[in-house]
A and B are shown apart, each in its own frame.
Chain A
Amino acid sequence: AQSVTQLGSHVSVSEGALVLLRCNYSSSVPPYLFWYVQYPNQGLQLLLKYTSAATLVKGINGFEAEFKKSETSFHLTKPSAHMSDAAEYFCAVSPTGRRALTFGSGTRLQVQP
């Protein structure tokens, strides 16, 4: 069974600082990987996805993630945090051939002024 581990349930950064949200997955074969963001009282918005085309994936709002097979990681980064980035972020994995997403437990990002 596939699983996703997000290290750090809460991350706090200063406005303008680097954002790094960690995600590790377990899978016997390279899966599809996703990052979603959830603002309060809203659904999930897709930030970016990895589907084996390129290891460095660029997403919306200045976010990007790098797939590292050797480390089974898919960490999310943004060079400069903005107040509007404060939200909960979820890493998810989907095995090839199936659509069901397995989500990590989420990381709440707080951005300090």
Chain B
Amino acid sequence: KAGVTQTPRYLIKTRGQQVTLSCSPISGHRSVSWYQQTPGQGLQFLFEYFSETQRNKGNFPGRFSGRQFSNSRSEMNVSTLELGDSALYLCASSLAWEGYEQYFGPGTRLTVT
């Protein structure tokens, strides 16, 4: 069974631009979560989706948004990019809701210049 895939793997954007990252969960998984990883702040939860509904959101500004489609694929969008948004963005999928382990994709490395 294929793992979690994220596209693109690497991205370079300019400050002020917006970006969309994509995540395809493991087949059959209905829950998708997003995390930001930076050297300074570590791994931080962004948001999670289950059955196309956002179930939980981390402490990030409104510039960060996401959505989930009926096939469980998810996208996250960051508008008006700032230098501090440079990070590895990780997507994780799980089979269902509570108690199920999350499987992570390889991440998208975003660099904002």
A-side residues, CB < 8 A to B, are 32, 34, 36, 41-46, 49, 51, 90, 92, 96-106
Give the Cβ gap from B64 to chain A, nearest Cβ, in Å. 14
The SS class assigned to the A binding surface is loop
Residue pair A43, B55 in contact (C-beta under 8 Å): no
- B90: chain A residues at CB < 8 Å are 43-44
Q: Which of A43, A45, A99 is packed against the most chain B CB atoms within 10 Å? A: A99
Known: A42-B106, A44-B90. A99 touches B42 (CB 8 A): no
Which chain A residues lie closer than 8 Å to B101 at the CB level?
Answer: 34, 46, 49
Residue of A nearest to B41 (CB): A105
Q: Once A and B bind, how many residue pairs between them come within 8 Å at the CB atom?
A: 58
Give the chain B neighbours of A34 by CB distance below 8 A.
Answer: 101
A104 neighbours in B (Cβ, 8 Å) = 42
Does B72 touch A at the CB level, under 8 Å?
no
Taking the nearest CB of chain B, how far is it from the CB of A56, in angstroms? 18
**Residue pair A43, B102 in contact (C-beta under 8 Å):** no
List the interface of chain B (C-beta within 8 A of A).
4, 31, 33, 35, 42-45, 48, 50, 55-56, 58, 90, 92, 94, 97-99, 101-107
Across the interface, do B4 and A43 meet the contact criterion of CB distance under 8 Å?
Answer: yes
Which single member of B43, B56, B99, B106 contacts A103 (CB below 8 Å)? B43
A73 to B44, CA, bound (A): 21
Q: List 27 A-B contacts (CB under 8 A).
A: A32-B99, A42-B106, A43-B104, A43-B106, A44-B90, A45-B104, A46-B103, A51-B99, A90-B43, A92-B43, A96-B99, A97-B98, A98-B56, A99-B31, A99-B48, A99-B56, A99-B94, A99-B97, A99-B98, A99-B102, A100-B45, A100-B58, A101-B45, A103-B44, A104-B42, A105-B42, A106-B42
